[in-house]
Amino acid sequence: MSGSRKSRECARSVLAALLGCIAISCASEGEHEQASKVFKTGFLKNYSELQAGGQGQALLRYRDPSVDFSQYDKIKLEPVMVFTTQKSSLADLPIEEVQSLVDYLDGALRDRLGRDYQLVDKPGPGVMRIRVAITEADGAPAVMGTVSGNGPGAHLINGTRKLTGGTAKFVDRAGVEVELLDSLTEQRLAAAIDRRVVQTSAENWDDIHRIYDFWADKLAERLRELRGAKRS
């Protein structure tokens, strides 16, 4: 085989590999999308400050423009909660599945935030307190579960396991509410509400994990941006 022919075949192989990688990337990003609306469950004490987010942002968001986020180098992450309605599809789920929902999101948040911040368990100077809730629909609120005291990831369900009917229904209705506070003064620094939906239908726990990973990545990314920005 001539050198030029080998070069052409090598180039075709590289191109095919690159196209394959792009296709995989696009498929991964397209498995879930932002919902058209969110519901206010009552987890946040104040919703009046929230405004519609722009491209690539949460559906509803708020940031105190006077806050210098560079002064915070530690995070106190509160236990992730499930904040839903009294007639929720979640009420019929096995406790194991409810616990796995909060454990996975808690672990994803700790993993991403811990790369840029020191995670602490007490308030103090330079400590930002973060409250997070997995939410469902609107109506009378009811707290359904919190993170296990046995540590993040203690009750994770294998991602390839099939979802029960009730869990699949809940995933399509679930969102997240996040609030950032100064740990000493309780001043609200920022808040956001978002909701993602699986484009077809959620079939296994990997579908849930991808959405929770997305939220954790977005929060960490936004905090990196805010730490580098000057007060407006």
Which pTM was predicted? 0.76
188, 55 contact by CB (below 8 A): no
- List pLDDT tens digits, range 67-90: 999 999 999 999 998 876 666 666
Q: How confident is the model at residue 26 (pLDDT cuts 50, 70, 90)?
A: very low
In angstroms, rounded to a whole number, what is the distance separating the alpha carbons of residues 93 and 132?
21
Q: How confident is the model at residue 177 (pLDDT cuts 50, 70, 90)?
A: very high
* CATH annotation of 33-228: 3.30.160
Q: Mean pLDDT of all residues in the chain?
A: 75
Name which of 111, 96, 75 is nearest 154 in CA terms. 96
Residue 12 in tokens? 């075709």
